[in-house]
């Protein structure tokens, strides 16, 4: 018997005698109580995404802290989007479609959520958050709109 064939035969015999069964692979007794495989742990660090389609778009995302998520999506031209996050467990999202839109989100503190959606042209929106547990969402559909939200706690 050749050496590779003998090694393969030994490996098969070893595995078959180990007693591994398919039903053993299906049980989850080795998981701790209350463990749910469908839940993700909270993010640690900073997660940033900038997606730009079009011309002359500007995006800036600055983060300092833990468990931060920042997302900027721009489709169109001549748009500006800025996100500044300082603290813990912060989420900010800006979505722009059109031309000449401006958006800014500033977050300081913890457990804050902010979202700006702009669909149209020449819209201006800002959200400033300082504190804990703040949430705000702005949606602009049309042209030439302006809004400013300030939240402090």
pTM listed for this prediction: 0.72
For residue 88 the two structure tokens come to 């813990």
CA separation for the pair 91, 68 (Å, rounded): 6
Q: What's the chain's Rg over C-alpha atoms?
A: 26
* Centroid of chain to Cα 28: 29
Burial of 65 (0-12, 13-18, 19+ CB in 10 A): middle
Give the N- to C-terminal CA distance of the chain in Å, as an integer. Answer: 79
Helices (H), the chain: 3-16, 22-26
Mean pLDDT of 94-102: 97
What are 1-30's pLDDT values in tens digits?
555 666 555 555 555 554 444 444 445 454
């Amino acid at each position: 018997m050749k050496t590779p064939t003998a090694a393969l035969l030994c490996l098969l015999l070893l595995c078959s005698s180990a007693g591994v069964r398919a039903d053993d692979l299906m049980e989850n007794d080795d998981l701790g109580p209350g463990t749910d495989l469908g839940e993700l742990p909270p993010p640690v660090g900073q997660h940033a995404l900038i997606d730009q389609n079009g011309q002359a778009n500007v995006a800036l995302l600055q983060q300092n802290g833990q468990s931060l998520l920042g997302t900027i999506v721009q489709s169109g031209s001549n748009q500006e989007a800025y996100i500044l996050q300082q603290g813990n467990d912060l989420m900010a999202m800006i979505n722009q479609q059109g031309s000449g839109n401006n958006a800014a989100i500033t977050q300081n503190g913890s457990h804050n959520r902010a979202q700006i959606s702009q669909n149209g042209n020449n819209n201006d929106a800002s959200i400033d958050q300082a504190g804990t547990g703040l949430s705000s969402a702005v949606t602009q559909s049309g042209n030439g709109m302006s809004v400013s939200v300030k939240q402090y706690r």
